[in-house]
Amino acid sequence: MEQQFHRKLLEPGWVGCLTPDQARHIQQALKRRPDLKKKWGIRGAVTLNKVARAALPDEPDKGEEHLQKLLAAERRKKSPQTTKRAQNRS
C-alpha cells in the first residue's frame, strides 16, 4: 500500500528533518518534475542526501545527518543478522 503524503511536503523547508519515506517520496517527485527540482535548488542527480539537505536549508548538515541515522536504523531492521539474532533469542 502506497503511503499518502501532504502536498506541502514538496515545498522546500516545510517539513524540516525528513523520514526515509518522505525523502524517497520527494526524490521521486523531483526526478519527474524538473520545475520542482529547480525550486528545491538541486543540480545533477537527485540523491536522498541532497533532498535531506535542501529540506532543512538553515542547517543542511543536520538534515543529512538525521536522514542517514534513520536510513542506518532501517537497514539494521532489514538485515539478515538482526533476524537471525531474534530467532536465536526465541
Q: What is the pLDDT of residues 28-75, one digit of tens each?
A: 999 999 999 999 999 999 999 999 999 998 898 999 999 999 999 999
- Residue 20 forms part of a structural domain: yes
Separation CA 61–CA 12 (nearest Å) = 15
Task: Please name the residue that has the C-alpha cell 536510513.
Answer: 71
Q: Where in the sequence is the domain holding 21, given as residue range(s)? A: 7-89
- Residue 68 forms part of a structural domain: yes
Number of domains comprising the chain:
1
Instruction: For 79, list phi and psi in degrees, rounded to 5.
Output: -70, 145
- Residue 62 forms part of a structural domain: yes
This prediction's pTM: 0.79
- Residue 1 forms part of a structural domain: no
- Residue 2 forms part of a structural domain: no
Q: Which of 26, 23, 13, 19 lies closest to 58 in space, CA to CA? A: 13
- Residue 12 forms part of a structural domain: yes
Residue 60: all three cell numbers together: 543542511
Determine the length of the chain. Answer: 90
